[in-house]
Amino acid sequence: MPPRSRRLVLGLRGRIVGALLVTTVATLGIAAVALLGPLEQQLRNSALATLQREVTQATPGFQRLNLGASQTSPVAQRRLQSQANALAVRIGAPNVSVFAYPLVQLTFYDAESERGDTFDDVNSAFRNLAEGKKGKAAAVPSFGTLEGTDVARVAMPITLPTGRGGQTYVLAVRKTIEEIPGAVKVVRTAFITAALAGVALTLILGIPLAATLVRRLRRLRDAALGLARGGRSVEVPVDRARDEVGDLTRTFATMQRRLQHQEDARRAFVATASHELRTPLTSLDGMLELLDDDLRSGSPDIEDAIGLLERARAQSRRLGRLAADLLDLSRLDADVELRSEPIELGELSRAVLAEFELGTTDRGITSRLEGTEGSCWALGDPGSIAQILRILLDNAVRATPPGSELRVELHDGTGPVTLSVCDEGPGVPEGERELIFQRFQRGRATGGRGGFGLGLAIGRELAERMGGELVLEDRPGPGAIFTLRLPAARAPDEDRVPAV
């Protein structure tokens, strides 16, 4: 046994589970990069924006202060310190200071925590004021670090009333954001936990799903191999799942049934053909042998020789009909294209009826054509229509008892054109109404007469190839009515002679 490649060893199950796992991990990885990466920065920006908004809302309280004539007086210092303390308590910021130019700190909220603060944002705010930039009263937000702790910083220019009018100061606010890394860590931990749970769930669901799928495909493969080895009776697994594998299994079962049916039909054909061929060939051989003996005897019996010759010719004609039927079947199976042209059914029917005139006269059967007051045009292949009519008339002549009547009826109207052959024979039992249209099938009421069981099957297939149908009509009394329905056609400018 040749060694399996690594890909084959992995198998469909491994590839399905691997694909699910890779897809899950890749999706979670992309989600982690897209979520966790910007999350901390987004939280920091949000905290800074919130701090700036709170400081902006607090500036009116500072602007209502009256510092008097001196900004460094104890009264002014106490008022500024009190307002800064209130702001610090309200927004939870441990560092709130007021600066006068040039960088003179007027208030001290938490001098210990301010150690190491360069107040570069305050310098930027004063520089903007000095340069007279547009939007000079706008705050300067930024991030910084105090004693190893991340803080959000806002330097807000404010104008305070003094004894000499108004003077611009800068309000410097520092608020720690050390809770943000902790929040990001909690989110990251939760995400990793969810990701691991998702991977585990993928494996829990993916492995059984892949195993079930592979098991179903393996059963189907085993059935296909058994069928390929010639096991016509291989049991195709029943799969009622409404998915692609289930559809494939049901389609395979349908194919297997059709192959079984075709094989049964082939075997029946071989058995029937052997019997049908053997009987006339044996009879023909026997009659020719008797005729040979009679002619070699020196005093032949002419009447007996003529009888043997007629019987031999009858068997020869039977073999000829069998060969013609088999040739017609081979043409149908080869999908030989049929002609499609307007056909006048009245003239065609009279021509075909004339072919059967000798046989019907010998048996005392009256045949007539009805419904021919005017032209009856149909669309189809003239040779195929004539062949169908011959098949129907041949069956009707053999089924109709002597002294009875046989009719061919033509009808055209708003719908399709119909050609019916009516006989007064024993009819067709209810259980055989569709059976007789199948290949190699004959009705039980033939009384040992009849052909190979191919005529009606050939007729129906020809009718369907021309866009029509061949059916057995319901009839309450004895006899049978076979009707050929064809698409109606308009009469051409010049009447055409039907090819029969």
Q: Looking at the domain 6-183, which fold is it?
A: Beta-Lactamase (3.30.450)
Q: What tens digit of pLDDT does each residue of 23-47 get?
A: 888 888 888 887 777 888 888 889 8
All CATH 3.30.450.20 domain ranges in the chain, comma separated: 6-183
**What whole-number distance in Å separates Cα of residue 316 and Cα of residue 308?**
12
Check: CB of residue 407 under 8 Å from CB of residue 368: yes
**What whole-number distance in Å separates Cα of residue 337 and Cα of residue 165?**
110
The one-letter code for the residue type at 153 is R
Structure tokens at 180: 């943000």
For range 474-491, the mean pLDDT: 84
Domain covering 341-486 in this structure, CATH number: 3.30.565.10
Structure tokens at 185: 């860590």
Structure tokens at 480: 């049978």
DSSP string of 280-330?
HHHHHHHHHHHHHHHHHTSS--HHHHHHHHHHHHHHHHHHHHHHHHHHHHH
Q: What tens digit of pLDDT does each residue of 371-399 get?
A: 767 788 999 999 899 989 998 998 888 88
Kindly report the CA angle at 440 between 438 and 444, in degrees rounded to 5? 85
Choice among 102-111, 148-157, 159-168 with the minimum mean pLDDT: 102-111
Check: CB of residue 335 under 8 Å from CB of residue 374: no
Q: Is domain 244-333 in CATH 3.90.1530.10, yes or no? A: no
Dihedral (Cα; 287, 288, 290, 292), 10-degree rounding: 170
All CATH 1.10.287.130 domain ranges in the chain, comma separated: 244-333
Choice among 32-46, 125-139, 474-488 with the minimum mean pLDDT: 125-139
pLDDT exceeds cutoff 80 at 141: yes
Q: Which H helix or E strand runs over 17?
A: helix 6-63
Q: Provide the 10 A C-beta neighbour count for residue 58.
A: 22
All CATH 3.30.565.10 domain ranges in the chain, comma separated: 341-486
Task: Look at residues 428, 365, 433, 364 and name the one whose alpha carbon lies nearest to residue 393.
Answer: 365
**What whole-number distance in Å separates Cα of residue 436 and Cα of residue 86?**
106
Query: Strand locations in 106-164, DSSP E?
Result: 140-146, 149-162
Task: Look at residues 338, 344, 339, 337 and name the one whose alpha carbon lies nearest to residue 489.
Answer: 344
